[in-house]
Amino acid sequence: MKVLIVGLPYFTKYLVNKLKAKYPQFTFIALNTYYSKSDKLKFLLHIWNCDVIHSINGSLEKSFVFDLSILLHRKLIFHWVGSDLYRAVQIANTPISKPKYIKYPIHLTDTPWYVNELSKIQINSEFVPLKGFNKEQKISDFPSTFSVLTYIGNSNPEFYGINELIIIAECLSEVNFYVVGLESYKKPLPSNIYLLGWVDNMQEKIENSVVCLRMPKTDGLAFFVLEALYFGRYVAYNQEFESSEFCKNTQEFINYIYKLKTEFDSKKLQPNYQIAAKILNDFDEEIILENIIKQYLK
């Protein structure tokens, strides 16, 4: 079996590496058909003898990759993971929407609440996670100093919640907030916000924190959230995910962080062992990869 995995490069490379390690008898190829001209040419080369095209990103807008996949009767899988859903909702009832992209592909999503959202635009989908964890789980003790970690993208800091973070940091001036991703910002930031830029040691950054925040305008189930929970940290999130604390506004984020800091300062706060065990059970890497292979072999 030969599978072409296209779409968002971060996800495609991650998934191909995992699948290659577990299923060496099959061929998996990651292609950046969005931004790489050479990968677009490679797609044309490989599609003639491939079995499955798995797109880590759904779409209802015209795509040469999807049109050719359908024309050649290849199995086509859309894996809805983020802003792709919100773009689809915007155009669902407009002339640029392609009904065949609803009917022909197998629709999956790595986000539980997207199943309901997709159904509103007549897409029947199945929750199939992409991110999994192995059983060699080691939860480190908390650092000696209470701190908070979050991710904010360089391309659109306001979307990822920089303005909300500023408010939270100003209200909790005794807490240090570390931001991965963002390298600089156009406005002065409170002195307790530290921009780390792109980091290669995300696990270390998570383990050096007590709380992790996630607060973009819209969101799929972020890898960052799952990783933080897996490593026994507490997560405040503006999405309703059962293993994290749901915070609807900045005041609720402030209240939750303050509560945890109070427990931390009084030596009552332990790593989030129970939720870490749940994440390991619910997102077992072996089972997740097996489920993805089953989709290919259907």
Average pLDDT over residues 196-219: 96
pLDDT of residue 117: 94
Integer Cα distance of 256 and 211 in angstroms: 10
As a whole number, mean pLDDT of residues 271-284 equals 96
Residues 125 and 193 placed together within one structural domain of the fold: no
Confidence at residue 167, expressed as pLDDT on a 0 to 100 scale: 98
Q: Does any domain span residue 36?
A: yes
For residues 218 and 152, membership in a common domain is answered with yes
In this structure, are 289 and 257 located in the same domain? no
Which letter, b or e, does each residue of 126-141 get, where b requires 16 or more Cβ atoms within 10 Å of its Cβ? eebbbbbbeeeeebee
Containing structural domain, residue 191 = 147-279
CA–chain centroid gap for 253, Å, is 21
Q: What is the pLDDT of residues 2-36, one digit of tens each?
A: 999 999 898 999 999 999 999 999 999 999 998 89
Asked if 160 and 77 sit in the same domain, the reply is no
pTM: predicted TM-score of the whole model, two decimal places: 0.93
Q: Looking at residue 152, which CATH number applies to its domain? A: 3.40.50.2000
Same-domain pairing of 68 and 155: no
- 165 with 119, same domain: the answer is no
Same domain, 171 and 116: no
Alpha carbons 14 and 289: distance in angstroms, whole number: 12
Average pLDDT, the chain: 96
Report yes or no on 137 lying in a domain. no
Percent of the chain exceeding pLDDT 90 equals 94
Q: How confident is the model at residue 251, as a pLDDT?
A: 98
Domain count, the chain: 2
**Residue 25 domain-assigned (yes or no):** yes
The per-residue pLDDT for 137 is: 85
